[in-house]
Structure 1
Amino acid sequence: MKYNTVIFDLDGTLLNTLEDLQDSVNFALESFNYPTRNYEEIRSFVGNGVKDLVTKAVPKGTDEETTSKCLQIFKEHYKINMQNKTAPYDGIIDLLKQLNSKGVRLGIVSNKFDLAVKDLNKYYFDNLIPVAIGERENVRKKPAPDTVLTAMDELGSYKETSIYVGDSGSDMITAQNAGIKSIGVTWGFRDANSLKESGADFLIDSPSQILDIIEGEF
C-alpha cells in the first residue's frame, strides 16, 4: 500500500452541505432585511470558513459589527439545522468502509467551525473517521498546513504515506503546504480546471478511485 493515511476535506468532498448552508445564510440575511443569496452564489462563496462565507454574503459595504452579528445568527441557526438536507455523496460511505477494512487511517480537516465538523462527522460517519478537526481560535486555517499536520499527528502518520483529498484549489495548496500529495475530486464545489491549476497530484471522478491511488495503481 502506497498510502496508509487519507485526510479529507468535508464540504464538497465527503458531504454535500450547500443547501443547509444556503438556508442558514439566508436566515441570517433576512434577519437584517438583506437580499438573500441563491445556490450558485453560496457555492462560489464557500471554502474558506463561515466567517468568509457570511462576509461575502452580506451586501458590499456592510460594517464589521453588523457582519459579526450576522455571522453569529448564521452559526446559531446552522448548529440546529445542519442535517436537514446535507448528505454524503454517492459512494462515500462504501469507500470509508473499504478503507477501514484495509486499516487505512482516516481524518477530516475543514475550515468549517470545529463544533460543526465534529457533530457532522459523528452524525454521518460515526466510527468510520476517528479524527475530525475544524476551525479553532489560535490555529491557522487552510491553506495553512496546521490542521492537516495536527490530524496526521493525532493519527500517528507520516508525510510520505499520507494524502489529502479535497474539492478546491485551497485544498490542493493546503496539501502542498503540508508536504503531502493531493487528490482533487470533481464532484464538489469547484471544477477540474481550478484543481489542476492549483497543483492537484491526482484528479478523480468517483470515490472508489481513491482505493486505486492508495494501492499505487492509479
Structure 2
Amino acid sequence: MNRCAIFDCDGTLVDSGNTIHRALGLAFADHGLTLPPREQAQKVIGLSLVEAMEQLAPELESERHHRIADTYKDAFVTLRGQREVEEPLYEGILDLLDALEKRGWTLAVATGKSDRGLRHCLTSHGIHARFVSLQTADRHPSKPHPSMAVTAMAECGASPERSVVIGDTGWDMGMARAAGCGAIGALWGYHDSAELTAAGAQVLATRPAEVLAFAERMVAA
C-alpha cells in the first residue's frame, strides 16, 4: 500500500491570496456589493466558490451566490488573460516535493480551485505531472467534506492510515479528519494556528521543510 501526501493548493502550494482577493473584489463590485476586508475575505479561501460566497454574503439568496461565483470565475480568467495572476510557489515547496518523492510518497492535490484553474497553476510551475491525483471543486462537494481526499487516496493506491493532508485552512484539516487521514497544518497560509488546531490539525508546520518529518512520523515506511 502506497503512502500518499495530499496537498491543498491556494495557501499551501502557492501564495494566490492577492489575486483571489482582487478577483473577489471585481466580482462583488460587478454585483453592486462591497467585499469584506481582506483579513475576513481570505478566511474563505479553500472552500468551493458557492460556499465561499455564502460565507462572504450570507444575507443574499442562493441564486445570487451562484451568479457571483460565476462572475468571479470570469474575473479570474480575465486577469489570467492579462497576465495579472500571481500564484508564486511558497519557498521550500519544490524541495518538499523532491524530498517526499525521494522517500517514496505518492503526491496528490485536493483544492477548491476548478480543474482549469489548477491545471494552469501547476503547469505554470512545471509540477503538474508530479501529482498522481488532482481533485477539484468541479467534481466534489466543498471541503471539509472528505470526498476529495477519499478519491485521491483511491487513485494513489493508499489507505487513510497511510495518508496525510497538508493544508493551511480549517477546511483542509476537517477534510483530513473526516477521511481518516493525518492532518498537518501549514502555518504559512491563510488560517492561524488556533483555527487549524480547532479544526483537527494534529501537528503544525511553520515552513515546508518541517512537513516531511511530521509525515514520516505519522506514517511509517
Quick check: TM above 0.5? yes
Q: Which residue matches 1:24?
A: 23
Q: In the superposition, relative to structure 1, how do residues 190 and 30 fare at CA in structure 2: closer, same or farther (>3 Å)?
A: same
Q: State the shift of 1:56 in Å.
A: 3.6
Letter in 2 for 1:12: G
Indicate if the aligned counterparts of 2:119 and 2:128 stay in contact, CA closer than 8 A. Answer: no
Q: Which residue matches 2:136?
A: 134
Letter in 2 for 1:67: H
Q: In the superposition, relative to structure 1, how do residues 197 and 24 fare at CA in structure 2: closer, same or farther (>3 Å)?
A: same
Q: State the shift of 1:183 in Å.
A: 0.5
Letter in 2 for 1:210: V
Q: State the shift of 1:206 in Å.
A: 1.1
Q: State the shift of 1:37 in Å.
A: 4.1
Q: State the shift of 1:176 in Å.
A: 1.3
The answer to whether the aligner puts 1:120 opposite 2:118 as a matched pair is no
Letter in 1 for 2:93: I
Q: State the shift of 1:41 in Å.
A: 2.8
**Unaligned runs of at least 5 residues, structure 1:** none
1:24-173 to 2 correspondence within 5 Å?
Answer: 24-58=23-57, 61-81=59-79, 84-124=85-125, 125-137=127-139, 139-173=140-174
Q: State the shift of 1:201 in Å.
A: 1.4
- In the alignment, the residues of structure 1 paired with residue 167 and residue 211 of structure 2 have an alpha-carbon distance, to the nearest angstrom, of 12
- In the alignment, the residues of structure 1 paired with residue 179 and residue 56 of structure 2 have an alpha-carbon distance, to the nearest angstrom, of 30
Indicate if the aligned counterparts of 1:97 and 1:128 stay in contact, CA closer than 8 A. Answer: no
Letter in 2 for 1:84: V
Q: Which residue matches 2:178?
A: 177
Q: State the shift of 1:130 in Å.
A: 2.9
TM-score, normalised via structure 1 length? 0.87
Indicate if the aligned counterparts of 2:132 and 2:155 stay in contact, CA closer than 8 A. Answer: no
- In the alignment, the residues of structure 1 paired with residue 32 and residue 48 of structure 2 have an alpha-carbon distance, to the nearest angstrom, of 23
Q: In the superposition, relative to structure 1, how do residues 20 and 152 fare at CA in structure 2: closer, same or farther (>3 Å)?
A: same
Indicate if the aligned counterparts of 2:87 and 2:121 stay in contact, CA closer than 8 A. Answer: no
Letter in 1 for 2:70: Q
Deviation digits for residues 178-213 of structure 1, max 9, x if unmatched?
111110111111111121222211111111111212
- RMSD over aligned Cα atoms: 2.3
- In the alignment, the residues of structure 2 paired with residue 28 and residue 37 of structure 1 have an alpha-carbon distance, to the nearest angstrom, of 12
- In the alignment, the residues of structure 1 paired with residue 213 and residue 133 of structure 2 have an alpha-carbon distance, to the nearest angstrom, of 23
Letter in 2 for 1:175: A
Indicate if the aligned counterparts of 1:25 and 1:57 stay in contact, CA closer than 8 A. Answer: no
Q: Give the number of aligned pairs.
A: 214
**Unaligned runs of at least 5 residues, structure 2:** none
List structure 1 runs of 4+ shifted beyond 6 angstroms.
none
TM-score, normalised via structure 2 length? 0.86
Identity %: 25
- In the alignment, the residues of structure 2 paired with residue 202 and residue 41 of structure 1 have an alpha-carbon distance, to the nearest angstrom, of 24
Deviation digits for residues 88-128 of structure 1, max 9, x if unmatched?
11111111122223331000001223332233223232332
Q: State the shift of 1:171 in Å.
A: 1.6
Indicate if the aligned counterparts of 2:169 and 2:196 stay in contact, CA closer than 8 A. Answer: yes
Q: In the superposition, relative to structure 1, how do residues 62 and 180 fare at CA in structure 2: closer, same or farther (>3 Å)?
A: closer
- In the alignment, the residues of structure 2 paired with residue 164 and residue 148 of structure 1 have an alpha-carbon distance, to the nearest angstrom, of 8
Indicate if the aligned counterparts of 1:121 and 1:129 stay in contact, CA closer than 8 A. Answer: no
